Structure 1
């Protein structure tokens, strides 16, 4: 009896891994495409920073909080 319960739990876990875990990983990959590792220029100091590390404000990426506070008009 205990062997049957363990077998059912094991089969359920394998089904979970095959079908549901892949969907969760795909969702993460879709969100990563929104901000890429593309290098963009800071409009204040003209330094290049990756989009994932930059600070987004009004559609522009800034390299630091100082550049964001001292942004050019």
Structure 2
């Protein structure tokens, strides 16, 4: 009985360390690489915000949020003189 249990344990150990574990390790590495690629793509897709000064008051505002009148940047409608 002991020989059978020992044989089963050895077969299981060989299967686990030579077949199962390398597959799990390879899968984990592949998933980690995929996550790194996704993070790099997300970081690259972020647009850099450019800060511009308001022509009237000098306050810096994001170029996305700035109001452009006659090619000049303003921080608000009141500074731009529009309603």
Give the TM bin, normalised by the shorter chain. 0.3 to 0.5
CA radius of gyration, larger in: 2
TM-score (norm 2): 0.40
Bigger helix fraction: 2
